[in-house]
Structure 1
Amino acid sequence: MKWLRDPDTRKWLLPGMGVKRWFLLLFLGMAFLGLGVSFLAREAYLTLVLPDAFYYITLQFIPQVFRGVLFIGVSVLFVVVGVWKFSAGLLAAMRSTARGNGNGHSESLVNLVYRHRFAGRGPRIVAIGGGTGLSVLLRGLKEYTDNLTAVVTVADDGGSSGRLREDMGVIPPGDVRNCIAAVADAEPLMTRLFQYRFPAESGEGLSGHSFGNLFIVAMSEVTGSMEQAIHETGRVLAVRGQILPSTLEDVRLAARTRDGRTIRGESAITAAETEIATVGLEPARPSAHPDAVNAVRNADLIVVGPGSLYTSVLPNLLVPELGIAFQESDAMRIFISNVATQAGETDRYSVQDHVASVESHLGGAPFDFIVANNNLSERLPKRWKSEPVRGGEARVGGTVVEADVIDERNRYRHDAAKLADTILTIYHERGEAAPRPPVVPAATR
């Protein structure tokens, strides 16, 4: 047996490991259990009239000594195999986690086994978007599957990301950082450190920068590429799944407004707070990240949104190869409508308006289902310059599924757990999929 030749396995037999005594106790317990069962069986055999079949079931045609040896041998075999397989399952879970983490992050044994047995078998989900909306979505979906891919926009040109983009000539790391933090299994302190932003009094060089952005850019200098830097950063923070930029090229976002103006740059588009007609990329045909294209083509489920419609969601699908792969994919495709409008960009937009904008940019009706929030009981504060997104009268491609997916603490955003549960319910109940495993409640993690 290979496991007997494994040095790590043989370590269990070393003096002082504190294991052998408990195995001995286990075998003694099984022996006493068997002895007690035999006493009861003998009493029943002497006092009850049993069917003739029991003559063969109890192997009475074999001498008693040989019967005893046979039953003892079979019971020992069952115990050894049972303990072996049980231990192997635990060790496999812990080893796979150790290979993925490498950061000392502690996790309960039941969650290790759960992830090893269920999450690794979950559906292959691709989430497309950017900004806070995508990170909220990923935070919920990671509890259902480890086969998770986030395709992130790289058109950001403001804040810390914009400064690093101009100074270092790298793709903006901000949205990538948010996604890594959302799906990381690292210690909470590490995640907080990754999201830490230096205050204004830090000086001109550090002021406003996120530590995570600086970490990713520094990693790109060490590894030689931004692509490898994202991968290694994900490994350090024990990311579930993978985070991929939609393209590795230097792209800018350009918007055509309803009044005929052209605004260039994501930050300028957002700051303008004006109604947008269409958006595009400059250059118009950047090469897609090949792994992102492969993930979309091989996905079981593709989720688009939530997030800023014109500056976070659409830029990914405007990368030609990625847009084509999305439309040709056999996966179930779900659009997540925002729960609130965005000042200037999507004022007065309904659910149908959001979907219609995506359809007009892609030239078709690409979605099977559209998730719309139906918890509209409260108005948003006036200072938010926003209102709840409601359904409209116009028909859209795909089935609209209404559900309460709002975060009661911040009604401008989705609730990660509610949204993920709604998505997986649609996938498993309305698609041809295997039954999903139970999700470990957040309170037990």
Structure 2
Amino acid sequence: MAGLTGLDPDQPLRVVALGGGTGLAALLRALKREAGRSRDPWKLTGIVTVSDNGGSSGRLRDELGGIPPGDLRNCLSALTLEDSALSDLLNYRFRGDGNLAGHSLGNLMLWALADLTGDWVRAIRQLSGVLVTLGRLFPSTVVPVTLCAEDMAGKHYIGETSVGSCTPPLARLWLEPQDAEPLPEAVLALLRSDLILLSPGSLYTSTISNLLLQDLQEAVESSRSPVVYVANLMTEPGETSGLDLETHVAAISAFGRTRISAIIANAAPLRPDMLARYQVEGGEPLLTEADRILDIPVYKFPLLDPEAPMARHHPDLLNRAIRETLSRL
């Protein structure tokens, strides 16, 4: 296994990215060019949190059982070899006021395949084959789990949607059932990794959620691979209101019990009009002048997509930042 002696990004590294939602999808989109290159491609694996209980995913989970497919669908779309009609279909949402309104077609496809095969891993693999994706994708667990939290005032939050509206910082964060087993393929991918990336995204509900599974925590530690945290661009109203980057890192270390080898942070300022829109909603840029946080090196790069209407990581800039960070480890 690779140690903290620097990694050559041009070598065929085994890279595992953990997270959920749009954050992990953005990271996978930045990494898939490394998985698709003709010479010494990376072996890319995404491990996706499955505690979502809102939107289309939450409705399917409540009505049909099983794990929520939304974040898996989002990440599959990010890993498609190129934009196509099939990837557009994956993200299509039904309109109107009927029972299908708001549901993503990709969510329904994934759930149907899992029901037909009786196996979420096989369902994802089959849909990946149809879409032609780069890299592998695994749910962190196939056990329906509920994210729970307690804030400093003792108030409890049950379910990912509720935790997302919490009053930070949190005193406790856990999954129910607490003995939920992670997917063996996810554990094995971590144990065999050369590099582990913690994706940007909602701090408690995406970035840390996977690390609440004890066996996944232990696999990260046992791998002895460098762990790089790709920080958010912004704080989020509710979940991370008023939290700086140091508090984000401290929360990952405390709740996820995970050592971090390096932090990748954005250095580009937001456009004034975009900043004003975020501030109205209670969001602030997650910037830092520090070169080290909690004795962890911070590598700062311009990561903002200048053409995106919202604050988003540009895949090319994020790819370059990850490659450069590897050479510094």
TM-score, normalized by the shorter chain, greater than 0.5: yes
How far apart, in 1, do the equivalents of 2:93 and 2:158 lie? 27
1:410-441 deviation digits (Å, cap 9, x = unpaired): 452222221121011211x224xxxxxxxxxx
How far apart, in 1, do the equivalents of 2:319 and 2:96 lie? 37
Deviation of 1:269 (Å): 2.0
Query: Against the structure 1 CA distance between its residues 391 and 289, is the aligned structure 2 distance closer, same or farther, given a 3 Å change threshold?
Result: same
**Match for 2:324: what amino acid?**
T
1:67-116 deviation digits (Å, cap 9, x = unpaired): xxxxxxxxxxxxxxxxxxxxxxxxxxxxxxxxxxxxxxxxxxxxxxxxxx
Choose the corresponding residue for 2:296, options 398, 401, 416.
Answer: 398
Q: In the alignment, which residue of structure 2 is the partner of 1:158?
A: 54
- Superposed, which structure 2 residues align to 1:257-268 within 5 Å? 257-268=151-162
Choose the corresponding residue for 1:149, options 41, 45, 48.
Answer: 45
Q: Confirm or deny that 1:138 pairs with 2:37.
A: no
- Superposed, which structure 2 residues align to 1:44-443 within 5 Å? 122-146=12-36, 147-185=43-81, 188-201=84-97, 203=98, 205-270=99-164, 272-277=165-170, 278-363=172-257, 366-376=259-269, 378-379=271-272, 380=275, 381=277, 382-391=279-288, 395-408=293-306, 409-427=308-326, 429-431=327-329
Gaps of 5+ in 1: 1-118, 432-445
How far apart, in 2, do the equivalents of 1:187 and 1:348 lie? 37
How far apart, in 2, do the equivalents of 1:369 and 1:348 lie? 23
Asked which structure has the greater CA Rg, the reply is 1
Q: Percent identity?
A: 36
How far apart, in 1, do the equivalents of 2:270 and 2:110 lie? 42
Deviation of 1:231 (Å): 1.4
How far apart, in 2, do the equivalents of 1:400 and 1:145 lie? 25
The answer on whether the counterparts of 1:256 and 1:276 sit within 8 Å (CA) in structure 2 is: no
How far apart, in 2, do the equivalents of 1:247 and 1:331 lie? 22
Deviation of 1:265 (Å): 0.4
How far apart, in 1, do the equivalents of 2:294 and 2:59 lie? 40
**Match for 2:222: what amino acid?**
E
Residue 47 of structure 2 aligns to a residue in which SS?
A: strand
How far apart, in 2, do the equivalents of 1:254 and 1:217 lie? 24
**Match for 2:254: what amino acid?**
S
How far apart, in 2, do the equivalents of 1:422 and 1:187 lie? 24
Deviation of 1:130 (Å): 0.4
**If the length of structure 1 is used for normalisation, what is the TM-score?**
0.66
Which contiguous aligned blocks of 4+ residues in structure 1 show a shift greater than 4 angstroms?
none
**If the length of structure 2 is used for normalisation, what is the TM-score?**
0.88
How far apart, in 2, do the equivalents of 1:218 and 1:186 lie? 24
The answer on whether the counterparts of 2:151 and 2:166 sit within 8 Å (CA) in structure 1 is: no
How far apart, in 2, do the equivalents of 1:191 and 1:411 lie? 22
Higher helix share: 1
Query: Against the structure 1 CA distance between its residues 239 and 121, is the aligned structure 2 distance closer, same or farther, given a 3 Å change threshold?
Result: farther
Deviation of 1:342 (Å): 0.6
How far apart, in 1, do the equivalents of 2:267 and 2:310 lie? 12
How far apart, in 2, do the equivalents of 1:411 and 1:400 lie? 24
The answer on whether the counterparts of 2:266 and 2:300 sit within 8 Å (CA) in structure 1 is: yes
The answer on whether the counterparts of 1:165 and 1:172 sit within 8 Å (CA) in structure 2 is: yes
Query: Against the structure 1 CA distance between its residues 139 and 395, is the aligned structure 2 distance closer, same or farther, given a 3 Å change threshold?
Result: closer
Gaps of 5+ in 2: 1-8, 37-42
RMSD: 2.0
**Bigger Cα displacement from structure 2, 243-252 vs 384-393:** 384-393
Query: Against the structure 1 CA distance between its residues 396 and 378, is the aligned structure 2 distance closer, same or farther, given a 3 Å change threshold?
Result: farther
RCO comparison, higher one (Cα < 8 Å, 6+): 2
Residue 157 of structure 2 aligns to a residue in which SS?
A: strand
